[in-house]
Amino acid sequence: MSSSVEFSHRGRYRALLIFLALLSAAPLLAQTSPGRSGDSGHGPTTMKLYPLISFDADNAKLTPLQHRILKEYVFEGIISEHDPTVEVIGYTDVMGLSEHNKRLSLRRAESVANAIRQGVGREHYRSLIVRGVGEDAPYYANDLPEGRFYNRMVQVRVITSNG
E-state strands within 3-100? 29-33, 45-54, 85-90
162: helix, coil or strand? coil
**Which domains are present in the chain?**
2-161 (3.30.1330.60)
- Asked if 105 and 90 touch (Cβ cutoff 8 Å), the reply is yes
Task: Tell me the pLDDT band of 38, cut-offs 50, 70 and 90.
Answer: very low
Longest dimension (CA), the chain: 58
What CA–CA distance (Å, rounded) separates 163 from 41? 7
Going by C-alpha positions, the residue among 142, 162, 163 that lies closest to residue 152 is 142
Task: Tell me the pLDDT band of 132, cut-offs 50, 70 and 90.
Answer: very high
- List, in sequence order, the alpha helices (H) in 34-97: 64-69, 76-79
Task: Tell me the pLDDT band of 147, cut-offs 50, 70 and 90.
Answer: confident
